[in-house]
């Protein structure tokens, strides 16, 4: 049966998760299964399942306002996985999703009225979820109902108990922030300084990691322990490399040199093909994707490092981490004359790229469309 | 295109996590017998290469008891060939696996009838009998 992910009508906002599930005819045995899976998705020891069951049963349903800015909707798609209704979608039964402009039926003024009403009714207590980066160069680059992203974020953040930044765009600026960052894109944390912010990066994040963070908030009523860049340690505490099943090959020095050599066929380490596993912190190697089917390295492709800041500007996805990101000696030699610093050379290189991009960019005109 | 183009090859040199997990199961079974302590191992929390989980399942084998639940999607529960060692696999409504545990216990809790469900059942049965009487 497909779970309803549409807006709640407000009549069931009150009450606990246990009451909501009971009213839907969910048996105790089903609830135990739900709790066991929730513990697994939160990477908590199975011994905590009874405690999770007790806490979730009594959890109040929080109001959630979800804002989408400069993004591709991949994060929402990852989360809802509309083609695969799953046990995790029960998490959505446990929140009151009061505003999400991709999922909600309302539009225009009615949608904005719903957001304002939810903010007023739950001031100080609602969760604010944000995906997408915020453009600062020109407010007109991205607006919703005529409201700039910056204005909507700062206004909605005022009454939030906590903010969950979902996806690498909201957490670190992501692809919009990539060099040359034409819109002046920044992350949520660059703007909001006075609220607890949980960063859930990934392009997109693993769906169960998103729901796991929500489940943690529901279970414990607090935000999880975070690392130095705001990510929940329970999901981002270990590198892909440390948990990778190909790690023994790295330790022995067995590497695939190309995508079709003997090493690749034997499943050897992909480090020399550019794998970012050693510098990337995420749960892909254990939680995996598509209901635990596999993850990129298992499919034979190096990790791109999509949950790390500036992953797009790493100098090429297929260069080994041990290689320099740009060949300064060849491409920026003109700027490196005398004692010029490498930083200045890279800056010149970036400006050069931006100028070259601008030169080859040809605007489409009405006449072109009529051809 | 030949389907063999998509054949993913595995190697004998994998994570080496299979034997430690099986030793953990042995240790937990010893604790169950000696102190009555139950244990659960979450197989999704451990890095395993393709084929390694299957090796664990094959080693544990299947014993005398096999149950299938229908609760928020199916769940397969069976006692392995080692008494007291159970394998529990939960699936969602699309029968995609969502979690898998090895539980070392006399009987997994999820198989027992639950108090809340029995209370509801008592009410429903009473109502059903009352309806029949009238």
Per-residue model confidence (pLDDT) at position A346: 40
Residue A108 backbone phi and psi in degrees, to 5: 55, -135
- For chain A, the straight-line distance linking the first and the last C-alpha, in angstroms and rounded, comes to 49
Q: Does B94 touch chain A (CB under 8 A)?
A: yes
Binary contact (B50, A37; C-beta < 8 A): no
In chain B, which residue's Cα lies nearest the Cα of A262?
B9
**Inter-chain CB proximity A39 and B116 less than 8 Å:** no
Residue A217: predicted pLDDT: 85
- Does B44 contact A at CB distance below 8 Å? yes
For A174-231, write each residue's pLDDT tens digit.
999 999 999 999 999 999 999 999 999 999 998 878 888 888 888 888 888 999 999 9
Q: Which residue of A has its CA nearest to B95?
A: A86
Instruction: Find the range with the poorest average confidence among A90-94, A235-239, B32-36.
Output: A90-94
Topology of A240-313 in CATH? Cytochrome-c3 Hydrogenase; Chain A, domain 2 (4.10.480)
How distant is the Cα of B118 from the closest Cα of chain A, in angstroms? 10
Task: Identify whether the C-beta of residue B43 lies closer than 8 Å to the C-beta of residue B53.
Answer: yes
Question: For a pLDDT cut of 70, what percent of chain A falls above it?
Answer: 79
CA atoms within 13 A on the CB side of A184: 11
Q: Please tell me whether residue B44 adopts helix, strand or coil conformation.
A: helix
The reply to whether residue B71 touches residue A243, judged by beta carbons under 8 angstroms, is no
Give pLDDT, residue A35: 85
Interface test with B, best of A4, A28, A39, A254 (most B CBs within 10 A): A28
Q: Chain B closest CA to A247's CA: distance in Å?
A: 7
Q: Where in chain B are the domains? A: 14-133
Q: What is the mean pLDDT of residues A250-269?
A: 93
Above 60 in pLDDT, residue A349?
Answer: no
**Virtual torsion, Cα A120, A207, A229, A215, nearest 10 deg:** 60
pLDDT at A110 over 70: yes
**Of A69-73, A330-334, B114-118, which gets the smallest average pLDDT?**
A330-334
φ/ψ of residue A287, rounded to 5: -70, -40
Identify the pLDDT of residue A189.
Answer: 97
Judged against a pLDDT cut of 50, whether residue A82 lies above it is answered with no
Partner-chain residue, chosen from A28, A36, A254, that has the shortest CB–CB distance to B114 = A28
Q: What is the pLDDT of residue A119?
A: 94
| pLDDT at site A260 | 93
Tell me the chain A residues in contact with residue B77 when contact means C-beta distances shorter than 8 Å: none
pTM of model > 0.80: no
**Closest by Cβ to A33, choosing from B42, B52, B90:** B90
What's the half-sphere exposure (Cβ side, CA atoms, 13 Å) at A165?
33
How far is the alpha carbon of A47 from chain B, nearest alpha carbon, in Å? 7
Interatomic CA distance for residues A118 and A108, integer angstroms: 16
Q: How confident is the model at residue B15 (pLDDT cuts 50, 70, 90)?
A: low
- The answer to whether the CB atoms of A40 and B45 lie below 8 A apart is yes
Q: Nearest residue of B to residue A297 by CA position?
A: B49
Q: Do B41 and A291 touch (CB under 8 A)?
A: no
- Dump the DSSP string for A24-66: TT--HHHHHHHHHHHHHHTT--GGGHHHHHHHHHT-B--EEEE
Measured CA to CA, the distance from residue A338 to residue A155 in angstroms comes to 50
3-state helix, strand, coil in chain A (%, to 5): 45, 15, 45
Measure the CA–CA gap between A210 and A72, rounded to whole angstroms. Answer: 17
Do A86 and B92 count as a contact with CB atoms less than 8 A apart? Answer: yes
Mean pLDDT in chain A? 80
Helix (H, G, I), strand (E, B) or coil at A339: coil
Lowest pLDDT segment from A103-112, B84-93, B105-114: A103-112
Q: Give the pLDDT score at B132.
A: 58
* Cβ–Cβ below 8 Å for B71 and A88: no
| Residue A319: how many other CB atoms lie within 10 Å | 15
Domain A17-236 in CATH 3.20.20.70: no
- Please state, in angstroms and rounded to a whole number, the distance separating the CA atoms of residues B48 and A160: 40
Interface A-B: count of C-beta contacts within 8 A: 117
Q: How far is CA A206 from the centre of its chain?
A: 8
Look at residues A225, A362, A208, A233 and name the one whose alpha carbon lies nearest to residue A295: A208
The bridge status of strand A96-100 relative to strand A63-68 is parallel
Q: What is the pLDDT of residue B3?
A: 34
Q: Does B122 touch chain A (CB under 8 A)?
A: no
Q: What percent of chain A has pLDDT over 90?
A: 44
Q: Which residues of B are less than 8 Å from A298 in CB distance? A: 8, 50
Which one-letter DSSP state was computed for residue A273? Answer: G
Structural contact between residues A328 and A345, judged by C-beta atoms closer than 8 angstroms: yes
Mean pLDDT of B40-62: 88
B16 touches chain A (CB under 8 A): yes
Cβ of A86 and B96 within 8 Å? yes
Give the number of other Cβ atoms within 10 Å of residue A235's Cβ.
Answer: 29
N- to C-terminal Cα separation, chain B: 69
| CB nearest A267 (choices: B9, B99, B101) | B9
Decide which of 3.30.1370.140, 2.40.50.100, 3.30.420.40, 3.40.190.150 is the CATH code for B14-133. Answer: 3.30.1370.140
């Amino acid at each position: 049966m497909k779970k309803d992910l549409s807006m709640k009508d407000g009549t069931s906002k009150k009450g606990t998760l246990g009451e909501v599930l009971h009213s839907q005819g969910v048996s105790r045995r089903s609830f135990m299964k739900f709790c066991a899976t929730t513990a697994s998705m939160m990477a908590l020891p199975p011994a905590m399942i009874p405690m999770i069951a007790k806490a979730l049963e009594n959890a109040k349903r929080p109001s959630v306002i979800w804002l989408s800015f400069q993004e591709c909707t991949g994060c929402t798609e990852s989360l809802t996985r509309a083609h695969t209704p799953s046990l995790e979608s029960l998490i959505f039964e446990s929140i009151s999703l009061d505003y999400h402009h991709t999922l909600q039926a309302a539009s225009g003024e009615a949608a904005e009225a719903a957001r304002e009403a939810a903010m007023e009714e739950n001031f100080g207590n609602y969760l604010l979820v944000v995906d997408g980066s915020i453009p600062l160069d020109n407010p007109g680059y991205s607006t919703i109902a005529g409201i700039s992203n910056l204005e909507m974020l700062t206004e909605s953040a005022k009454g939030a108990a906590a903010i969950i930044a979902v996806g690498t765009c909201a957490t670190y600026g992501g692809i919009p922030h990539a060099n040359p960052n034409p819109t002046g894109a920044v992350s949520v944390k660059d703007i909001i300084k006075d609220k607890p912010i949980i960063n859930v990066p990934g392009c997109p994040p693993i769906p169960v990691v998103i729901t796991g963070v929500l489940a943690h908030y529901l279970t414990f009523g607090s935000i999880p322990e975070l690392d130095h860049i705001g990510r929940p340690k329970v999901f981002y505490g270990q590198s892909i490399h440390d948990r990778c099943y190909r790690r023994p090959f790295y330790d022995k020095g067995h590497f695939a040199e190309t995508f079709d050599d003997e090493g690749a066929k034997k499943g050897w380490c992909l480090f020399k093909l550019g794998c970012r596993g050693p510098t990337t912190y995420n749960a892909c190697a254990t939680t995996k994707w598509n209901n635990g089917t596999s993850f990129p390295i298992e499919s034979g492709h190096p990790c791109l490092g999509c949950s790390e800041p500036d992953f797009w500007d790493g100098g090429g996805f297929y260069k080994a981490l041990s290689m320099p990101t740009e060949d300064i000696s060849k491409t920026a030699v003109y700027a490196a004359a005398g004692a010029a610093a490498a930083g200045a050379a890279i800056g010149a290189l970036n400006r050069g790229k931006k100028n070259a991009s601008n030169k080859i960019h040809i605007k489409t005109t009405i006449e072109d469309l009529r051809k | 295109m030949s389907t063999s183009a998509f054949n993913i090859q595995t190697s004998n040199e994998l994570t080496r996590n299979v034997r430690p997990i099986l030793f953990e199961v042995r240790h937990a079974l010893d604790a169950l017998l000696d102190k009555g302590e139950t244990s659960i191992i979450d197989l999704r929390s451990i890095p395993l290469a393709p084929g390694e989980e299957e090796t664990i399942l094959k080693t544990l084998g299947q014993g005398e008891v096999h149950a299938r639940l229908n609760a928020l999607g199916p769940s397969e529960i069976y006692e392995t060939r080692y008494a007291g060692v159970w394998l529990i696999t939960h699936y969602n409504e699309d029968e995609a696996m969502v979690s898998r545990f090895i539980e070392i216990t006399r009987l997994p809790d999820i198989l027992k009838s639950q108090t809340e469900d029995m209370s509801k059942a008592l009410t429903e049965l009473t109502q059903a009998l009352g309806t029949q009487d009238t």
